[in-house]
């Protein structure tokens, strides 16, 4: 635990003292702020929306009026091009002003308003392209009308969204009324376009009369309904509009067209048509003015209410903040005494943490190595006075000392356990070495084939037993007795590992690159490969072969892959063993109980010591593939020497008879000829030419032994043929 973590986890007293003094103040602050801040935010939002609506109202109404006028001229027959061009220029000016206003408001507008604004801007941006398509004839009159309708509807939807976000019932209702008046005005002009088309052609098209009738009744009923909820000045202007001559003439023409039906013939003189269009424009302007007046009323009301509410909220918040600040200042004056106690507790905490993280690890490390430690001299004493804090420090001192003594005792026990294991293994290794010398001598002098066969089995068993004993020395942290000073060819190292397995006849080796392993790493490398090969033969069918591939990889490293044909491993087991191979566990009684795969622990220990990378992977079939990567610092190029045996031959130690007490030091690797025993006859050459059909000098062995060796080689060849 770091000092920052310790500080986080040891603030209990400070929290309690602070809570006792500040909790009432905090509750008061929460009550005041929760009751005032939301109202302030709400009033601010309403005020900003009102400001945005006020800024955009005038440009928007001019822009919509210009779009309605251009829409009417774009679909009417016989409009002079100059008049249409003037209307388009007017639309461009008003739309540009509206676009600038909308861009200035999108920075602080709420998300719904920003979304509707983006839709309106997109529609307005399509205006130049729509005009070009209409001029070229690619855009029909109906498509032109639909575009202008969609642009105007997008603007009306923007107004409606602004009205519904006002957070005030009256302001929202007035804004919705203004929006509905604007929709009614646009419906009136859309009905006029349908009627004008019918008059120009003499009759309504398919479905046109129904659409005309629907729009006429819809806009009239909407005007009557919304005017009842409008502001007083808006209701007065609506009465004036309905009593005006233009309204009467317009409604009269609409009634005639509705009464004539879809099949009726509609004719008007040019003067009547001109008067009708003038009445439509006049009524449309008045209706837009009604919507604008209603919108101004809603905006003014919303801004007035929101500003007053905002000012009141800010005043209350300031008073609340002042009261809270005064209470906090008073509480901080009473915490001064508690701070002194907390500082002493913090010093005690830091002293204990320093013991735990800085002083104890070196002491425990030396205890694990069996060295003597003086806990009192190295840790010192926790002296924090004689009051309550000092008593707490003394109690912690007693508890920590008991824990330290128990840990040191456990570490010493583990060290003694490992030393005992190493001593037992060393003694057993001496006995095994004596047995190997005796077996070698017996093999050398034996003439009877049957007894020689049994000696061969004893030789193989004793060799594997020596490997198991050396594994115990590795687990105990000791170094094996066999060591080499000079580099050893990798081919001999691989073949020596094969020679230390029980079922060595089932192991096939591909070509080995001409590299050598440095002497100090030879024993550990042989041990790693032997353990993996032995596992591969034991966990695969008896008649199956184990393939060993050796190749160079990037960075001058060497990859050795050992693949069996067994049932494979579960993914969870493979991941657990790979974790053990990358981080070897401690060899204690606990680790032995947790996992009995001591061979994996041995491989992990040796690989970590030499920087060798070992991992398990799924094989090509159902088996398992073990990958061993020898680092470049353990390798060197092999010096050309006398021709060796073929890549299929396995090698073992060329042992010379010596006294049982003579320690093993530098020498050749264990060498074995395929099909022979682990025990090599004394003074037998380590290699002989296989391609010329020559046999080694067998003068020291009777002819029966030679026949037995040939019998084993034939059995081996038959087994390889079956595999």
Work out the pLDDT band at 419, boundaries 50, 70, 90. low
Residue 337 confidence (pLDDT) above 80 = no
Residue 546 confidence (pLDDT) above 60 = yes
Question: What pLDDT, in 10s, does the model give residues 293-309?
Answer: 888 888 788 778 777 77
Q: Is 395 exposed, middle or buried (0-12, 13-18, 19+ CB in 10 A)?
A: exposed
Work out the pLDDT band at 601, boundaries 50, 70, 90. confident
Q: Which residue has the higher pLDDT, 682 or 22?
A: 22
pLDDT of 50 reads 65
Residue 629 confidence (pLDDT) above 90 = yes
Residue 551 confidence (pLDDT) above 80 = yes
pLDDT of 612 reads 92
The overall pTM is greater than 0.85: no
Work out the pLDDT band at 715, boundaries 50, 70, 90. very low
What is the residue-wise DSSP string for 266-290? ----HHHHHHHHHHHHHHHHHHHHH
pLDDT of 517 reads 92
Question: What pLDDT, in 10s, does the model give residues 13-61?
Answer: 666 666 666 777 777 777 776 776 776 676 676 666 667 666 767 778 8
In 3D space, the residue among 606, 605, 603, 634 whose CA is nearest the CA of residue 616 turns out to be: 603
The three-class DSSP label of residue 241 is helix
pLDDT of 247 reads 93
Report the share of the chain in percent with pLDDT over 70: 73
Residues 6 or more apart whose Cβ sits within 8 Å of residue 691: 646
pLDDT of 692 reads 31
Distance CA 607, CA 601 (A): 10
Mean pLDDT value across the chain: 75
Least confident of 263-267, 534-538, 627-631, 681-685: 681-685
Nearest-5° Cα angle at 477, 472 to 481? 65
Residue 169 confidence (pLDDT) above 70 = yes
In 3D space, the residue among 378, 382, 350, 353 whose CA is nearest the CA of residue 364 turns out to be: 378
Q: Which residue has the higher pLDDT, 147 or 206?
A: 147
Mean pLDDT, residues 342-370 taken together: 78
Question: What pLDDT, in 10s, does the model give residues 92-149?
Answer: 998 888 888 877 766 667 788 888 888 888 888 888 888 888 888 777 888 888 888 8
Distance CA 556, CA 630 (A): 9
Work out the pLDDT band at 703, boundaries 50, 70, 90. very low
Question: What pLDDT, in 10s, does the model give residues 430-464?
Answer: 777 777 787 778 877 778 888 888 877 787 777 77
Question: What pLDDT, in 10s, does the model give residues 496-517?
Answer: 888 888 888 889 998 889 999 9
Q: Which residue has the higher pLDDT, 643 or 425?
A: 425
Dihedrals phi, psi of 488, to nearest 5 degrees: -125, 135
Work out the pLDDT band at 604, boundaries 50, 70, 90. confident
Dihedral sign for Cα atoms in the order 707, 713, 717, 722: positive
pLDDT of 616 reads 92
Residue 189 confidence (pLDDT) above 70 = yes
Residue count of the chain? 723
Q: Which residue has the higher pLDDT, 400 or 643?
A: 400
Under a CB-based contact definition with an 8 Å cutoff, are residues 615 and 627 in contact?
yes
Under a CB-based contact definition with an 8 Å cutoff, are residues 602 and 527 in contact?
yes
In 3D space, the residue among 511, 477, 487, 488 whose CA is nearest the CA of residue 648 turns out to be: 511
Residues 6 or more apart whose Cβ sits within 8 Å of residue 258: 212, 213, 216
Give the pair of three-digit tokens for residue 151: 């642009």
pLDDT of 236 reads 92
Q: Which residue has the higher pLDDT, 718 or 396?
A: 396
Delineate the domains of the chain, giving CATH numbers in brackets.
Answer: 11-324 (no CATH), 482-637 (3.30.565.10)
Residue 256 confidence (pLDDT) above 90 = no
Within 52-96, strands assigned E span none
Distance CA 546, CA 624 (A): 10
Residue 394 confidence (pLDDT) above 70 = yes
Residue 324 confidence (pLDDT) above 80 = no
């Amino acid at each position: 635990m770091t000092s920052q973590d310790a500080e986080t986890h040891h603030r209990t007293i400070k929290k309690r003292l602070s809570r006792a003094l500040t909790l009432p103040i905090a509750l008061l602050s929460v009550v005041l702020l929760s009751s005032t801040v939301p109202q302030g935010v709400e009033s601010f939002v309403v005020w900003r929306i009102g400001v945005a609506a006020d800024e955009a109202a005038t440009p928007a109404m001019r822009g919509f009026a210009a779009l309605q006028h251009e829409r009417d001229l774009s679909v009417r027959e016989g409009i002079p091009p100059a008049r249409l061009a003037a209307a388009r220029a007017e639309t461009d000016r008003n739309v540009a002003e509206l676009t600038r206003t909308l861009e200035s408001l999108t920075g602080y507008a709420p998300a719904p308003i920003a979304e509707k604004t983006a839709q309106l801007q997109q529609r307005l941006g399509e205006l130049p392209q729509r005009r070009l398509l209409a001029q070229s004839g690619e855009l029909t009159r109906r498509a032109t009308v639909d575009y202008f309708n969609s642009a105007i509807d997008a603007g009306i939807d923007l107004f409606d969204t602004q009205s519904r976000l006002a957070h005030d019932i009256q302001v929202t209702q007035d804004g919705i009324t203004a929006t509905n008046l604007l929709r009614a005005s646009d419906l009136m002009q859309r009905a006029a376009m349908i009627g004008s088309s019918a008059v120009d052609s003499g009759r309504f098209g398919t479905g046109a009369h129904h659409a005309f009738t629907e729009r006429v009744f819809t806009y009239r009923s909407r005007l009557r309904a919304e005017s009842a909820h409008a502001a007083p000045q808006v209701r007065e202007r609506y009465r004036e509009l309905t009593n005006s001559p233009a309204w009467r003439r317009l409604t009269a023409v609409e009634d005639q067209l509705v009464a004539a039906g879809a099949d009726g013939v509609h004719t008007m003189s040019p003067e009547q048509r001109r008067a009708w269009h003038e009445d439509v424009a006049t009524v449309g302007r008045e209706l837009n003015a009604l919507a604008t007046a209603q919108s101004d009323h809603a905006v003014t009301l919303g801004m007035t209410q929101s500003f007053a509410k905002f000012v009141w909220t800010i005043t209350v918040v300031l008073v609340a903040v002042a009261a809270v600040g005064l209470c906090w200042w008073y509480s901080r004056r009473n915490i001064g005494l508690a701070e002194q106690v907390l500082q002493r507790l913090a010093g005690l905490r830091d002293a204990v943490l320093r013991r735990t993280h800085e002083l104890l690890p070196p002491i425990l490390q030396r205890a694990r190595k069996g060295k003597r430690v003086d806990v009192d001299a190295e840790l010192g004493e926790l002296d924090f006075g004689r009051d309550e804090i000092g008593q707490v420090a003394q109690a912690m001192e007693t508890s920590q000392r008991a824990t330290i003594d128990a840990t040191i005792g456990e570490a010493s026990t583990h060290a003694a356990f490992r030393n005992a294991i190493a001593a037992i293994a060393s003694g057993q290794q001496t006995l095994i070495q004596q047995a190997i010398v005796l077996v070698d001598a017996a093999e050398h002098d034996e003439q009877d084939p049957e007894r020689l066969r049994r000696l061969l089995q004893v030789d193989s068993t004793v060799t594997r037993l020596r490997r198991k004993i050396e594994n115990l020395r590795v687990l105990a942290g000791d170094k094996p007795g066999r060591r080499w000073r000079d580099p050893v060819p990798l081919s001999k190292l691989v073949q020596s590992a094969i020679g230390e397995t029980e079922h060595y006849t089932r192991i096939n080796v591909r070509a080995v690159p001409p590299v050598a392993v440095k002497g100090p790493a030879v024993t550990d490398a042989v041990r790693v490969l032997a353990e993996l090969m032995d596992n591969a033969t034991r966990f695969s069918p008896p008649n199956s072969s184990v393939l060993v591939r050796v190749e160079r990889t990037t960075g001058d490293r060497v990859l050795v892959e050992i693949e069996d044909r067994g049932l494979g491993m579960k993914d969870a087991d493979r991941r657990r063993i790979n974790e053990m191979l990358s981080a070897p566990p401690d060899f204690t009684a606990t680790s032995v109980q947790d996992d009995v795969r001591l061979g994996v622990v041995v491989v992990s220990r040796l690989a970590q010591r030499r920087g060798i990378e070992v991992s398990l992977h799924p094989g090509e079939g159902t088996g398992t593939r073990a990958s061993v990567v020898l680092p470049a610092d353990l390798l060197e190029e092999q010096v050309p020497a006398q021709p060796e045996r073929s890549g299929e031959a396995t090698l073992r130690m060329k042992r010379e008879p010596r006294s049982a007490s003579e320690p093993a030091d530098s020498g050749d690797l264990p060498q074995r000829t395929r099909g022979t025993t682990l025990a090599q006859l004394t003074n037998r050459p380590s290699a002989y030419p296989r391609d010329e059909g020559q046999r080694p000098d067998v003068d020291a062995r009777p002819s029966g032994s030679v026949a037995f060796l040939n019998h084993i080689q034939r059995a081996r060849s038959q087994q390889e043929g079956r595999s």
